[in-house]
Structure 1
Amino acid sequence: METQELHRGRLIDHIQLVVRDLPASQAFYSAIFEVLGVPMGGTAEDYFWADELFVSTSKSAAAQGHLTGRHHLAFQAQDEAMVQAFYKAALAHGGKDNGAPGERPYHPGYYAAFVLDPDGNNIEAVFHGKAQRNAPSVKITF
């Protein structure tokens, strides 16, 4: 029998977005990640990355010459104030409103804001309420 530990929020290993305007995207994501407490990992002429998000130009070798389609990415926030700060930073750095901060009907305590990034991706910051803040990791046995 093998036991693997799955950590909440770690289903995805990484995501790559291929964008038209790298400086605009870098300004947008740098601003929202600052308020979400996510440090930028690194930059180069044709890409930047933070945590599991890799953003590049279509000329980057990893992109193979193609832009990615429209995506919805949701980033975890520590509280409602962080969701509000995310929304303000996003709008101040090239984002467009796609749903002001507020509680959503998805489950009790789901508080989120939605913005469109410079390439039209739907970017969300979500706080799942106090009951979800300290949810434990899950162990699965095979």
Structure 2
Amino acid sequence: MEFHRGRLFDHVHLRVSDLTASKRFYRAVFAALGWPDIVQEGPDFFYADELVVEAAGEYVSRVHLAFQAPDQATVQAFYQAALAAGGRDHGPPGERAYHPGYYAAFVLDPDGNNIEAVCHGPHHRSAPSVVIRAK
């Protein structure tokens, strides 16, 4: 068994009010970002890479997630796909003052989570992901 993970966290778990709406939203976002589709799903959950999404019942998450994008065009594609899949504008694509080259777009997912796609400008990645192999 082999897992690929990012730099900072192992996974994020969102609790949502409408699993079908969230599945539609995140599938569109992942496609725009060029990522694989949902890895596994059941009647009350799905997950893709480090993101786990579960039907919430009465408690719904409120978080900010920032997805990495390789370039500005991908940030723009993310924004358009997210809006078309039920997201709401929370900051159109553009350069932000966080640091030179920080180009991002923000949308609210169907439950109001603040979802961002960001490109940090020209850069070099030491590896596409961290590879974890179970023994």
TM bracket, shorter-chain basis: 0.7 to 0.9
Deviations 1:79-112 (A, max 9, x none): 0000000000000001000000000000000000
User: Gaps spanning 5+ residues in structure 2: where?
Assistant: 128-135
Map 1:74-113 → 2, pairs under 5 A: 74-113=66-105
* Identical pairs, percent: 62
Q: Which runs of 4+ in 1 moved over 4 A?
A: none
Return the index of the structure with the highest Cα Rg. 1
When normalised by structure 2's length, the TM-score is 0.85
User: Gaps spanning 5+ residues in structure 1: where?
Assistant: 1-7, 59-64, 138-142
- Give the superposition deviation at 1:38: 1.6
Residue-pair matches, total: 123
Map 1:29-48 → 2, pairs under 5 A: 29-39=26-36, 40-48=38-46
Distance in 2 between residues matched to 1:51 and 1:135, nearest whole Å: 19
Match of 1:18 in 2: 15
Deviations 1:44-96 (A, max 9, x none): 111111110000112xxxxxx55243100000001000000000000000100
Asked whether the equivalents of residues 114 and 125 of structure 1 are also in contact (C-alpha less than 8 Å), the reply is yes
CA RMSD of aligned residues (A): 1.8
Task: Tell me which protein shows more strand as a share of its residues.
Answer: 2
Q: State the SS of the aligned residue for 2:65.
A: strand
Letter in 2 for 1:114: F
Asked whether the equivalents of residues 18 and 66 of structure 1 are also in contact (C-alpha less than 8 Å), the reply is no
Letter in 2 for 1:75: F
Distance in 1 between residues matched to 2:71 and 2:32, nearest whole Å: 11
Distance in 2 between residues matched to 1:69 and 1:54, nearest whole Å: 12
Asked whether the equivalents of residues 47 and 53 of structure 2 are also in contact (C-alpha less than 8 Å), the reply is yes
